Amino acid sequence: MSGSADTSGSDGSVLLPRGYRVGDWEVTESIAAGGWATVYAGRPAGDDGGRSAGREDVALKFLPTAGLAPRQARSVAESARREVELGRRAGHPRLIRLLDTVVLSEPDRPLLDGAIVLVMERAARSLRDVLGTGVTEAEGTRLFTEICEGLAHLHRSGWVHGDLKPDNVLLMADGSVKLSDFGLATELTGTHGTHGYAPPMGTMDYLPPERWKAPLGEHGVESRPSADIWALGIMIHEVFASGVSPFPGATPMARGAAVQEYAEGRAVLRLDHAVPPFWRALAADCLAPAHAVRAAHTAESLLARITARQSVAGGTGGPSAPRRRAAVRAALAAVVACGAAAAAIGAYAVRDGGPGTVSVRVFNAEQACRDRTDRDPQCSLGLAIHPLLPYTSENVVPTRVWHGDVLAVDCRLPQGIPIIDEADRQSAEWFRVRLPRGSARSVAWLPAVRAKDRPEVPRCPPLTPVR
């Protein structure tokens, strides 16, 4: 390995510099960070004796084991083993390819020593990045056709994904879909191959009702393909309803409580009318509250329904006339809303806007705050003074912003203090934004998880480390 690693992340994470060497690859920049892993972009090293000829850029998933309790270290190792095993036995064009695995030997860098690195295909973005962008029915049909192709193959091969969500549905440079992140994947080993056992982990917004009360046994909690079908139903709703969950609540825990009320028959399933009729019906089947009912709707059968519908529609999957009229009404409503927001924003609007200005919209993960237009102080968000300092009240400028506010962006910092929002999205990326004239400061820093957009802006100059 080469290059020095900055191990001074305030949350104990390892921050790797550009050029850090992993086998035949070198780190270029951070992509994302989660509870157990950090993913970096990588490119072929130039001094590998020609082995990198013709190779494309990759994603490097770092799973550190240093500083963990023995049980936690075993969990990390087991997660890596599952990804490797699934990649070896269940390869498919709709599953992200695992290219290599490396175990780091860095005795002089304790936080890196023993870390497991998975070298994978590099995607352009994830399905999460397109939520809220106005996916057409035709595009949604293509996306879910390819998602179901991957999911059907996974289930046929005897695996449950276990953490299906928009973040783990990757979009390649050509727009094609590949499922990824199999750290919680479960092999079906029960009677007749109907279930397996997984760690009691997962993303709350995509857990089926039965998982909230599943007993924890010696081998973990029971995991079945119908759990992936539930998650698919949530994603269908999110794609066509601009990222909104079918279950109300300001936090994942509150939405989980709404799921339980629905599963126990104390609430009905309310799907947004923005979801086209065919997809409403499909989502409703995926979100059947009981496993036994949901199990009838396999990834294979759902794929067959989508394919049959495309054939009836002449393969276009295009929106009907009522759907097109609804889209026009929505677009007009958005124009009116943007005008009202601009008037309400006042001093918070883009400063020195005009041709060439790059801007970003502020995003609040709390649905209750996104629905408000009164700029309630409790829904305001803070901008940091410095992105390398802890994101506390002492490190926030006086100027506050709200969901939908538009700010001018100067540059981006790929690796600052990692921030986790109310929906459990995490990123270490920050944007330097300009503040309105008259503000106490001219610039501030917006965490990427608080940004609706990912504008193409230059990297910020290196910042002076803060003690």
Does the residue 1 lie in any domain? Answer: no
Does one domain contain both 188 and 304?
A: yes
Asked if 356 and 457 touch (Cβ cutoff 8 Å), the reply is no
164 and 259 assigned to the same domain: yes
281's CB contacts (< 8 A; 6+ apart) are none
Number of folded domains in the chain?
3
pLDDT greater than 90 at residue 334? no
**pLDDT at site 81:** 80
415 pLDDT above the threshold of 50: yes
Are 255 and 350 in a shared domain?
Answer: no
Question: Is 76 among the domain residues?
Answer: yes
CA–CA distances in Å: residue 179 to residues 33, 55, 96, 153, 172: 18, 21, 6, 11, 11
Has residue 429 been placed in a domain? Answer: yes
The string of pLDDT tens digits covering residues 277-289 is 999 999 999 999 9
Question: What does the pLDDT look like over 162-179, one tens digit per residue?
Answer: 899 999 999 999 999 999
Quote the CA–CA distance of 288 and 297 in Å, as a whole number: 9
Percent of the residues in the chain that have a pLDDT greater than 90, as a whole number: 39
User: Reduced to 3 states, what is the DSSP secondary structure of residue 195?
Assistant: coil
Same domain, 151 and 257: yes
Q: Give domain status of residue 2, yes or no.
A: no
**Cα angle: 300, vertex 318, 176; to 5 degrees:** 55
CA distance 427 to 386: 16
- The reply to whether 238 and 293 lie within a common domain is yes
Give me the CATH number covering residue 221: 1.10.510.10
Shared-domain flag, residues 132 and 212: yes
What domain range is 86 assigned to? 21-121
What pLDDT is stored for residue 211 in this prediction?
83
Cβ contacts of residue 41 below 8 Å, gap of 6+?
27, 28, 29, 30, 31, 57, 58, 59, 60, 122
Contact 362, 402 (CB under 8 A): yes
In a domain, 244, yes or no: yes
pLDDT tops 90 at residue 333: no
Domain co-membership, 143 together with 275: yes
Q: Is residue 158 part of a domain?
A: yes
Give the Cα separation of 305 and 221 in Å (integer).
31
User: Mean pLDDT over residues 58-83, rounded?
Assistant: 78
Q: In this structure, what are the phi and psi dihedrals at residue 302, rounded to the nearest 5 degrees?
A: -65, -40
Q: Do 295 and 389 fall within a single domain?
A: no
| 459 compared with 463, residue with greater pLDDT | 459
| The token pair that represents 65 in the structure block | 């084991």
Classify residue 464: in a domain, yes or no: no
Report the DSSP pairing between strands 430-434 and 406-413: antiparallel
Q: Is the pLDDT of residue 139 over 50?
A: yes
pLDDT of residue 10: 42
The verdict on 239 and 368 lying in the same domain is no
pLDDT value, residue 37:
80
Looking at the fold, whether 244 and 271 belong to one and the same domain comes out as yes
Q: How many CA atoms lie within 13 A of 301 on its CB side?
A: 11
In sequence order, which residues have a C-beta less than 8 Å from that of residue 259 and are 6 or more positions away? Answer: 207, 209, 212, 247
Domain end, chosen from 57, 89, 121, is at 121
Which residue's structure tokens are 């007749």?
192
10 in a structural domain: no
Q: Which helix (H) or strand (E) holds 240?
A: helix 225-240
Q: Which pLDDT score is estimated for 411?
A: 93
Residue 322, pLDDT score: 42
220 and 300 in one domain? yes
Q: What is the DSSP string of 198-235?
A: E-S---GGG--HHHHT---BTTBEEE-HHHHHHHHHHH
Query: How many angstroms separate the CA atoms of 112 and 109, rounded?
Result: 6
Mean pLDDT taken over the chain: 80
**Do 138 and 233 fall within a single domain?**
yes
Q: How far apart are CA 414 and CA 16, in angstroms?
A: 11
Least confident segment among 12-26, 115-129, 336-350: 336-350
Distances (CA, A) of 337 to 152, 341, 345, 407: 41, 6, 12, 17
CATH number, domain containing residue 42: 3.30.200.20
Indicate if the pLDDT at residue 226 is higher than 90.
yes
